[in-house]
Amino acid sequence: METIQTKVLVVGAGPGGYVAAIRCGQLGLDTVIVEGDRFGGTCLIKGCIPSKALIHAASRFEEITDHAKNSSLGISAGAPELNFTDTIAWKDGIVDKLSNGVGALLKKNKVQRIQGWATFANGKNCIVETDTGEVKIEAEHVILSNGSTEVELPFLGDSKHIITSTEALSLAEVPKRLAIIGAGYIGLELGIAYRKLGSEVTFIEASENILPQYDTELTKPVKNWLKKHKTTLLTECKAKAVTDTDDGVELAYETAAGTIETIAADKVLVTVGRRPNTQGWGLSNMCLDMDGPFIKVDEYCQTAMHNVWAIGDITGEPMLAHRASAMGEAVAETIAGNKTPFNPTAIAAVCFTEPEIVSVGLSPDEAREQGYDITIGKFPFAAIGKAMTQQAGRDGGFVRIVARADNHLILGIQAVGAHVAELSNQYALALEMGACLEDFAGTIHVHPTLGEASLEAALDGLGHAIHI
């Protein structure tokens, strides 16, 4: 058996692991990274990137279809045809290019790459099963970046028509009838995309509202889109079982009143959350403390075992790629002697629905619950010229800024509307730097841009919005 000794061993080449490994390489640390699948992890291979590609293709298809029907913008077109096989191939091409790019970056920074499954015998030693045999790795530091996987619902049955979000990104054809269990961000993103592609979509959601992590003011424009596009939304309902039929499946669900109803579908997509990958690689041999289902870490991402670190989804919420990457960089710096805590003021989250939702920091209700006396500034995209020129001001979207009433320190920023994901980094920066309403109001914003809504929301919080 080949034995490798290294300064740093990174397990998992997702957005946390590969960033940690690259930064370790840049800092001159002898580094090995082990990945059982492809470089890039869930986000790049079967999550964030492929789903956004599918969303983009679906939106373009919907736009052309609209031009064919309504001659909007003075543009007319013939009815478009969808070759879904080509769409999936285009999406796969993007994934392949980015995955290969990650591998090239690791090589450039002298990180040794091993393809295989790592199993730990103790905190610093593991055996990797590769295609060419076993490799033993002994490390001084171990960075665990094992990621997460979809939560399954075994009680539904074992129908081949029950699919995960990963499988939904590689279907051979667009399902005529798609039932989605869970109206969180994953279910809504994929469901809206498939509705644009022509599927009849039904959501089964156990909560009383979609996107339970957001308040109803933010989710209302999304609900309006679902209603306008004849998408069925069944809230306070629980999926019970899936039964195969001659032309698909029948999904049984329990309503809030306790009755059992059924719907017919071609595919049933389960999107009820994700769980950390803590099984099957020897976690029990490492003597680490747990925080519920997650590995417990301190502010430096250090576990209970000396020189064993954990980052990303296996350490808890929010399960976001950019959180994992930031944790990976911080750990690399700490291992190199530049002790760097992972202590962000806020982490922005984006839901790529129709329209998009951005949230960073505290919502109005959360701020009040923490005892703050607040002022709220709000401005609609309907009054923004750039939004109107992009047909983006008709969906009820807005920017909302939550600030302390006494000193105007910004506590949170939320937005809903077309293209608002591109504003998320500005909002995160504002909270990280401790910006006040006056900082936004005193910054000259480019005209015409969607970002002017942020300026006007800050002015509204100060009591003198200009354009409304």
The catalytic residue positions are: 447
Q: Residue 30's CB: how many other CB atoms inside 10 A?
A: 17
Residues in the chain: 468
Q: Which two tokens stand for residue 420?
A: 């608002």
* Exposure string over 295-305, b if 16+ CB within 10 A, otherwise e: bebeebbbbeb
| Reduced 3-state DSSP string for 153-184 | CHHHCCCCCEECHHHHCCCCCCCCEEEEECCC
Listed in sequence order, the residues at least 6 apart from 457 whose beta carbon sits closer than 8 Å to its beta carbon are 377, 378, 379, 398, 399, 400, 401, 440, 465
Is the dihedral angle over the CA atoms 36, 38, 39, 42 positive or is it negative? negative
Q: Please give the angle made by the CA atoms of 37, 125 and 102, to the nearest 5 degrees.
A: 30
Q: How far apart are CA 278 and CA 314, in angstroms?
A: 7
Query: Is the distance from CB of 200 to CB of 341 less than 8 angstroms?
Result: no
Q: Please give the angle made by the CA atoms of 134, 138 and 140, to the nearest 5 degrees.
A: 155
Q: How far apart are CA 406 and CA 197, in angstroms?
A: 49
Q: Which two tokens stand for residue 171?
A: 């279907």
- Using DSSP bridges, classify how beta strands 177-181 and 267-270 pair: parallel, antiparallel or unpaired: parallel
Q: Would you list the DSSP string of 240-294?
A: EEEEEETTEEEEEEE-TTS-EEEEEESEEEE-S-EEE--SSS-GGGS---EETTE
Listed in sequence order, the residues at least 6 apart from 252 whose beta carbon sits closer than 8 Å to its beta carbon are 239, 240, 241, 242, 243, 260, 261, 262
Q: How far apart are CA 405 and CA 382, in angstroms?
A: 27
DSSP label of 436: B
Q: How far apart are CA 124 and CA 134, in angstroms?
A: 17
Phi-psi region of 443 (alpha: psi -120 to 50; beta: other; left: phi over 0): beta
Q: Which two tokens stand for residue 193?
A: 């995309």
